[in-house]
Amino acid sequence: MTGRRPTSLLLALLVTGVLAACGGTSAEEPPAAQASAEQPPATTASTGFPLTLENCGVTTTYEAAPTRAISMNQHATEVMLALGLEKSMIGTAYLDDQMLPEYKAAYDAIKVVAKEYPSYEALLAEEPDFVYGGFGSTFDEKEGRSRTALQEAGIKTYLNVEECAEGAVTMQLMDQEIRNVAKIFGAQDKADPLLTELHGTLASLREKLAGVPPVKLFVYDSGDKTAFTAGGKGIGNEIIKLAGAENIFADVDKVWGDVSFEQVAERAPDWIVIYDYGDEPVDAKKKFLLDNPALKDVPAIKEQRFAVLPLSSVVLGVRAPSAVEALAEQIYADQFR
């Protein structure tokens, strides 16, 4: 794997689910229940502060909204920009892909603290009061950036809830993530319009895909000896389901997992979706699969039915609904003409 997902992150992802979901709630609870569980008794109606929030095992009390925030990883940065929080941000780090066009101007006005993750010392030099991490590797203890270390330095932290979700991740957890960040910054009024827009995309897709029989789909992320694929616990599996397909490895009880190419052949997917990221081009991945003798009788290979999604779209953030749309449009092109 490339630096896109460091080894420490992959290990964290493979054991995801051991921590409680943000707010102590299950990923399957409706947003209203989650919001209620996280609402502190001392919160004032006018400002929303003080706010006490439990997030991935860390409880934090906010007396006021952060004003010197740094976001790390694509999906964390885009959640903040989608909520219009750029004036509260002093930096970003570890951009995984091209910034979405609608947020590019705001993003370009914010300092890039580091191309990947900054060191603990470099992070402290920026004097942030809040760090928002998209992946568990943001707060790598071996690199000195643990949440405890940052808390001791007076910096509050928040981790994307996909990293500690109980059970399968659904779009309800996307709602929770957006609402949590909005509450931390006293921007609750920005959450509902954003969620209305995101769920509007999903509602439109449900209408277009009504009655369409699901196709069997295999996710190819990477790997030559084994295939690194999407299991049943991440938002990637939910994206596949909502796009009218069936993840052939949904029974893998992880966000990500390694499977053999013989297992792929046995499950005979109708479609293969390739995750695009890093230094290996999609065409090279496609050629590898087409030339793999173990896959020669797979329907997707015989018919060369490939879809492509950027990896930045299949993590928990504001891109998830558009990822559903992009995948559905490739698989069921006739439904969108």
DSSP notation for 138-164: GG-GGGT--HHHHHHTT-EEEE-GGGG
* Amino acid symbol at 65: A
Give the range of the structural domain holding residue 84, as residue numbers without chain letter.
Answer: 7-201
Judgement on whether residues 254 and 187 belong to the same structural domain of the protein: no
Q: How many domains does the chain have?
A: 2
Judgement on whether residues 118 and 223 belong to the same structural domain of the protein: no
CB 112 within 8 A of CB 95: yes
pLDDT higher than threshold 60 for residue 5:
no
Of 166, 201, 236, which one is at a domain's C-terminal end?
201
Judgement on whether residues 171 and 217 belong to the same structural domain of the protein: no
pLDDT of residue 337: 80
Judgement on whether residues 12 and 140 belong to the same structural domain of the protein: yes
Here the tokens at position 138 are 């943001």
Say how far apart CA 282 and CA 308 lie, in whole Å: 8
pLDDT of residue 278: 86
* pLDDT average, residue stretch 61-87: 98
Report the candidate in 225, 217, 187, 199 with the shortest Cα–Cα distance to residue 83.
187
Judgement on whether residues 330 and 197 belong to the same structural domain of the protein: no
pLDDT of residue 46: 52
Quickly state the pLDDT bin for 41 (edges 50, 70, 90).
Answer: very low
pLDDT higher than threshold 90 for residue 186:
yes
* pLDDT average, residue stretch 80-93: 98
* Residue 2 in domain: no
Mean of per-residue pLDDT scores for the chain = 89
Which residues, at least 6 apart from 15, have a Cβ–Cβ distance to it below 8 Å? 254
* pLDDT average, residue stretch 54-81: 97
pLDDT higher than threshold 80 for residue 230:
yes
* pLDDT average, residue stretch 60-67: 98
pLDDT higher than threshold 90 for residue 53:
yes
Say how far apart CA 223 and CA 106 lie, in whole Å: 36
Judgement on whether residues 39 and 13 belong to the same structural domain of the protein: yes
* pLDDT average, residue stretch 72-93: 98
* Residue 1 in domain: no
* Residue 244 in domain: yes
Of 155, 181, 201, which one is at a domain's C-terminal end?
201
Judgement on whether residues 292 and 150 belong to the same structural domain of the protein: no
For the ranges 27-31, 111-115, 173-177, the lowest mean pLDDT is seen at 27-31
Here the tokens at position 107 are 């993003």
Residue with tokens 């990883």, as numbered in its chain: 73
Judgement on whether residues 14 and 96 belong to the same structural domain of the protein: yes
pLDDT of residue 178: 98
pLDDT higher than threshold 70 for residue 66:
yes
pLDDT higher than threshold 70 for residue 12:
no
Of 145, 170, 201, which one is at a domain's C-terminal end?
201
- pTM as predicted: 0.84
Quickly state the pLDDT bin for 335 (edges 50, 70, 90).
Answer: confident
